[in-house]
Amino acid sequence: MIRAIIDTDPGIDDAIALLYALRQPDLEIAALTTVAGNIGLDVTTRNAGAIAAMAGVCVPVHPGAAAPLGREPRPETGIHGDDGLGGIAFPAPLAEPSSLHAVEAMHSLLTSAPEASIDVFCLAPLTNIALLLARYPQSAMRIRRIIAMGGALEEPGNMPSGAEFNFGHDPEALMQVIASDLDITLIPLDATRQFRADAAYIADLRAMGKAPATASADLIAAYFAQTAHQSKTAESRPLHDPCVPLFALHPELFRVTERQVTVEPDTGRLIPGDRLLRVAMGLDARGLRGELRRGLAV
Ligand code: BDR
Ligand code: CA
């Protein structure tokens, strides 16, 4: 059994990642913590609760940082829509968000559990993790490992600066996390762009006849509609964030190498440096599509 906290900014692909993660019997999700990223904090927090309700799971949702460290938020409504979920209807959250801030919740969970028994899955800018490191460094070091969707090494990024969104949204947070001794595995765009959904996959998900799979099909269809102008990738779209829980449960479907990187301070781009990280640079897309489809129908 893997026990994890998921830090997220839902977000279309976050939503699919959460629907998958929350339904897997081998994953125990202790909490969802939210952050400003794809959309503002109030919306990412509401969405996290709504996604948990869709998954049929009661899990605490703890709102965290409403803005990056020292920068303005840069929501991506052009991709995720004004509601962050591409206009797809979700049920109302089963409970109000917790009044406990994400950083306090992480601290409390990490100190009340055995050391190195909790993973943190990062699907969003790393603001909350940097705040945890700053406020409770000893608690942060109790994290078993961080698995983060972020960065682009050989691939171009997806922001005008050349950075990947999660890392370019809050470079200061990324620098603090990279500077720590945390055990980090990155799943950058180099890998996630290989894990793609097309119209046939949307149809496959619908054919499963289960609410999380149907909602995921609707979310991917909305993602296509939102990004219809991106003609170069008209046939398929990448599923970034689902790679994180998929990696946790199925590392055999990823090709992981070690890379030495540092952070370009202005942009949050990863450039050659001296921090050794494990990085997933390749994956078995067919195997992962099958596993995601199965996992969304349990
Ligand atoms: C990442 O940025 C967000 O738009 C997605 O949710 C994902 O976490 C991809 O660069
Ligand atoms: Ca995300």
How many Å lie between the centroid of ligand 1 and the Cα of residue 224?
A: 15
What's the residue count for the chain?
298
Backbone angles phi, psi at 84, to 5 degrees: 80, -10
**pLDDT-based confidence at 227, cuts 50/70/90?**
confident
Of 173, 131, 133, nearest to 150 by C-alpha is 173
List the one residue out of 195, 191, 204 whose CA is nearest residue 256.
Answer: 191
Please say if the pLDDT value at position 11 is more than 90.
yes
62 is catalytic: no
246-289 pLDDT per residue, tens: 999 999 999 999 999 999 999 999 999 999 999 999 999 999 99
CA distance 222 to 86: 5
Distance CA 215, CA 34 (A): 21
In the chain the domains, ranked by start, together with CATH numbers, are 2-295 (3.90.245.10)
Q: Which of 150, 128, 182 is nearest to 269 (CA)?
A: 150
Residue 103, CA distances (Å) to 28, 54, 94, 126, 291 in order = 19, 25, 22, 12, 32
| In contact, 126 and 9? CB cutoff 8 Å | no
Question: Does the C-beta of 55 come closer than 6 Å to ligand 1?
Answer: no
Q: Interface pTM (ipTM) of the complex?
A: 0.98
**Burial class of 117 by CB neighbour count within 10 A (0 to 12, 13 to 18, 19+):** middle
pLDDT at 232: 58
Taking the CA of 149 as reference, the closest ligand is 1
In sequence order, what are the beta bridge partners of 121? Answer: 6, 147
Q: What is the largest CA-CA distance in the chain?
A: 50
- Which of 13, 161, 267 has the most ligand 1 atoms within 8 A of CB, as the residue to mutate? 13
Q: Which ligand is nearest to the CA of 195?
A: 1
Q: Is 171 exposed, middle or buried (0-12, 13-18, 19+ CB in 10 A)?
A: buried
Residue 164 beta carbon below 6 angstroms from any ligand 1 atom: yes
> Would you say the CB of residue 20 lies under 6 angstroms from ligand 1?
no
The answer to whether the CB of 170 is under 6 A from ligand 1 is no
Q: pLDDT at position 79, please?
A: 83
98 in Cβ contact with 123 (< 8 Å): no
Which tokens is 285 given?
């897309």
Q: Which percentage of the chain shows pLDDT scores above 70?
A: 99
How far apart are alpha carbons 235 and 27 in whole angstroms? 32
Residue 124 CA, ligand 2 centroid: distance in Å: 4
Report the chain's mean pLDDT, rounded to a whole number.
96
Among 62, 229, 240, 250, which one carries the catalytic annotation?
A: 240
Question: What value does the mean pLDDT take over residues 4-8?
Answer: 98
What is the rounded average pLDDT of the residues 66-85?
89
Question: What is the spatial distance between Cα 100 and Cα 106, in angstroms, rounded to a whole number?
Answer: 10
Looking at residue 70, what is its pLDDT?
85
**What's the pLDDT tens digit per position in 176-211?**
999 999 999 999 999 999 999 999 999 999 999 999
For the cut 80, the answer to whether the pLDDT of residue 170 exceeds it is yes
